[in-house]
Amino acid sequence: LELIKSGKRFDLIFCDLQMPNGNGYDFLVQLRSMHDGRDIPFIIVTSETEASMAIKAINAGATGYVTKPVVVEMLQKAMQAAYNRIQNG
């Protein structure tokens, strides 16, 4: 978040739900509340497999949700959806 506040641009963010100093949901909500963070594609990559967790993430503004162990095709599809979102504005 500090890098985005300082003007650094990101094309895509991958984030886990479980982080050492917080969680991915909080990070996502904070990111989406920032003007410069609203449009950055955000893909959650996590071991959380509960459908309710994925729904919560999408409702919070995640572009994609991929579970671990990562299936490469699922990750590619999530990245393609993020790219399409950017292209279609």
Q: Peptide bond preceding 69: is omega within 30 degrees of 0, i.e. cis?
A: yes
Supply the pLDDT for residue 89.
67
Let me know if 74 is exposed, middle or buried by CB neighbors in 10 A (0-12, 13-18, 19+): middle
pLDDT of residue 82: 87
Predicted pLDDT at 85: 81
Residue 21's pLDDT is what? 84
> Measuring CA to CA, which residue among 2, 75, 72 is closest to residue 44?
75
Say if residue 61 is exposed, middle or buried (CB neighbours under 10 Å; 0-12, 13-18, 19+): middle
Residues of the chain with pLDDT under 50: none
pLDDT reported for residue 45: 94
86: Cβ contacts below 8 Å, ≥ 6 apart = 39, 41
Tell me if the pTM is above 0.95: no
